[in-house]
Amino acid sequence: MSVEYTLEPEKWVERYADALFGYAFTRINRQDIAEDLVQDTFFSALKAKDTFQFNSSEKTWLIAILKRKIIDHYRKKSTQNELNVFDKDTKDGFMNHFFETEGRTDHWTDINAPKEWGKDFETKVESDEFYNILKNCLGKLPEKWAAVFTLKNMEDLESEEICKELQIAPSNYWVIMHRAKLQLRECLEINWFDK
């Protein structure tokens, strides 16, 4: 006996809105944009419902659409001009904040050299607090940096795909990733590990 499946768009908001919003918010870190992306996801799914082939659950299908919306959001943001307060080519610029300015510039400054954080997540509360601080730190990054870091580390996209989606050169990708990691490390040290 075969079971016939049907989509139930009238129940999507009730069933999936919270999960989709949570998924989007952890990747975008802005409530208004996350809400818009979820709404766009439902609208796109409604338009494409006749093409759904039941190879996955409704929820999985909706998340796949939402992932595409998130990538599109980051692509649009990455092509906009952005003021980048950390990307200065001056003596006091971003890289010189972390690395020596005299002599060899591939050595860490004493204060910014990597060190043991000495923290371990002992409880779920601490873990939740850490992820909230991480989200806040991501929100302080320039949009393109946050996009590259999020797509690589939260969406698990390959670097080649990120370069294609955000229309950046591989060398630019690695510079952005390096700088994003440095800035996130510093933000986490200040707001989590050193508090």
What is the structure's pLDDT at 97?
57
The pTM for the full model equals 0.62
Instruction: Concatenate the DSSP letters of all residues of 103-115 into one string.
Output: S-TTSB-GGGS--
Per-residue pLDDT of the chain (195 residues), as tens digits, is 344 467 788 999 999 999 999 999 888 888 999 999 999 999 999 999 888 888 888 899 999 999 999 999 988 876 654 434 344 443 345 555 555 555 555 554 555 555 554 555 565 556 778 888 888 898 888 888 988 999 999 888 899 999 998 888 999 999 999 999 988 988 888 887 655
Whole-angstrom distance, CA of residue 129 vs CA of residue 24: 19
Residue 110 phi/psi, 5° resolution? -55, -45
CATH 1.10.10.10 range(s) for the chain read: 94-193
Question: Other CB atoms closer than 10 Å to residue 180's CB: what's the count?
Answer: 24
Q: CATH says 94-193 is which class?
A: mainly alpha
Tokens of 78: 């990455």
Q: Which residue has the tokens 């010189």?
A: 96
Q: Where in the chain is the domain with CATH 1.10.1740?
A: 9-78
In contact, 159 and 173? CB cutoff 8 Å: yes
**Architecture of domain 9-78 in this structure:** Orthogonal Bundle (1.10)
CA distances 58 to 50, 70, 72, 114, 133, Å, are 13, 18, 21, 45, 32
